[in-house]
Amino acid sequence: MPNILFIPVDDLRPELGAYGDQFIKTPNIDRLAGQGVTFTRAYCQQAVCNPSRASLLTGLRPDSIRVWDLQTSFRENLPDVVTLPQYFKQNGYRCIGLGKVFHNNDPDTISWSVTPENIDGFPFDPDAVYLNDDNLEIQNKKIENLKAAGKSRIDQLGHWYVKANATEMADADDDAYYDGAQTTRAIEILQELKDANKPFFLSVGYYRPHLPFNAPKKYWDMYDRNEIPLAKNQFVPEGTPAYLVHGEAELRGYSDCNDLPLPGEEPWDENR
């Protein structure tokens, strides 16, 4: 029985060397792609995270599981559906979910032998991890305001749910951020599993490149911002429904992007 290493990545477009991008540096993914099969006509099931992940992991269309938003759990509509890791679990595998596999608010514990929240030192969803003083100050002020407003849930969720700025360039090692530390832990888990007398399904779900764009300085230093090619289609596609260009709030939810113009208004200032 083969062992399975499953690596879902959040908000990653196919801007990779393996897909012909000549600018982005992705040597490890390219090497992995060179050892396997690269799908050139694989498409995202939905434009938002929860239905897309639920669809991928159940093998059913979002319309079939009736999940179209970030709040609905697919188990509400199909409580007995068998997910990909759950299938392996039912067939003798030890299934471990590390990081973001299903959506933030739905780890689907029934699918796993060991879930993210049960792995020492790892919160389930460290969405907004900051290291620099300016971002930590913004976070702390927001937390104080939330608590003053009676939002006690912040104590349960932790500081990683509070957004500061949309970017951070910290002079730090990989493991200072969650994805780096998670990789180190995943390697340790693999070493433990290889000596076990049981096949395994290990999922290592990465949060980046989802916002906020926080990464060690050495990765920012790999690129000259003046040489980064910008998208040629910097306009709203013809025939786009009006509600699609006025409801986007992801980037504007960060402190340094609250005042960004809407699509269809004036262009963004590229020097911000």
Torsion angle, CA of 214/220/222/227, rounded to 10 degrees?
120
Q: What is the pLDDT at residue 204?
A: 94
pTM of the model: 0.90
Rounded to 5°, the CA angle 77-82-83 comes to: 100
Backbone angles phi, psi at 4, to 5 degrees: -120, 125
Domains in the chain: boundaries: 4-43+82-257
* Cβ atoms of 92 and 198 closer than 8 Å: yes
* Residues forming the active site: 49, 103
Q: What is the pLDDT at residue 132?
A: 97
Which tokens sit at 191? Answer: 């070493």
Q: Would you write out the chain's pLDDT as a tens digit for each of its 272 residues?
A: 899 999 999 999 999 999 999 999 999 999 999 999 999 998 888 888 999 999 999 999 999 999 999 899 999 999 999 999 999 999 999 999 998 999 877 889 999 998 766 666 666 677 789 999 999 999 999 988 888 888 766 666 667 778 999 999 999 999 999 999 999 999 999 999 988 889 999 999 999 999 999 999 999 999 999 999 888 887 778 888 877 776 567 888 899 998 888 777 777 777 77
Q: What is the pLDDT at residue 152?
A: 67
